């Protein structure tokens, strides 16, 4: 049974921007900030973000499914992979949205959701994104906005596994304007 026939099956990994033609004016970004439903909705509202796809990354299991990820045995984070137009929105602005959309001081937790799949993580594509992510994290630390240290991980992007179809645009399909656990 293929992934189109089984709603619980995750798809094969998306290799990310390495597979995109060099002439593509769009860029890719990937963030984990807790439950991916609310994160997806937050980024879809950003001018210049053309697509937001929920999925899994940062783990050690190929083709994980939601139940596998929730078991805590795969090492994956729930993430949102973005395709955006850098002429309309900067990566630095996406980092601001990321840090403003969750509590980056809680390890493996966002609100009522607990587990490593809910960790705060930035998966970067290239040295420019890495430098921007590290600088944004340091700027936020320097502001003193948070009393606890920022625990956001910054890691190179690896395989992205698109989540099951029922997770894509989940809140939109449910007619919700925000994630109930975040109040956003």
Q: Which residues are catalytic?
A: 35
Burial of 38 (0-12, 13-18, 19+ CB in 10 A): buried
């Amino acid at each position: 049974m293929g992934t189109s026939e089984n709603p619980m099956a995750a798809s094969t990994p998306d290799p990310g921007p390495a597979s995109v033609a060099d002439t593509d004016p769009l860029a890719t970004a990937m963030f984990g900030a807790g439950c991916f439903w609310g994160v997806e909705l937050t980024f879809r509202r950003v001018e210049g973000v053309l697509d937001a796809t929920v999925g899994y990354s940062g783990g050690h299991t190929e083709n994980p499914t939601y139940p596998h990820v929730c078991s805590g045995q795969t090492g994956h984070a729930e993430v949102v992979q973005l395709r955006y137009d850098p002429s309309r929105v900067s990566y630095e602005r996406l980092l601001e949205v990321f840090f403003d959309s969750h509590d980056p001081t809680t390890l493996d937790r966002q609100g009522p959701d607990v587990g490593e799949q809910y960790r705060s993580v930035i998966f970067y594509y290239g040295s420019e994104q890495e430098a921007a992510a590290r600088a944004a994290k340091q700027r936020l630390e320097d502001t003193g906005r948070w009393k606890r240290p920022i625990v956001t991980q910054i890691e190179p992007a690896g395989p992205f596994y698109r989540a099951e179809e029922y997770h894509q645009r989940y809140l939109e399909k449910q007619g919700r304007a925000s994630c109930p656990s975040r109040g956003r």
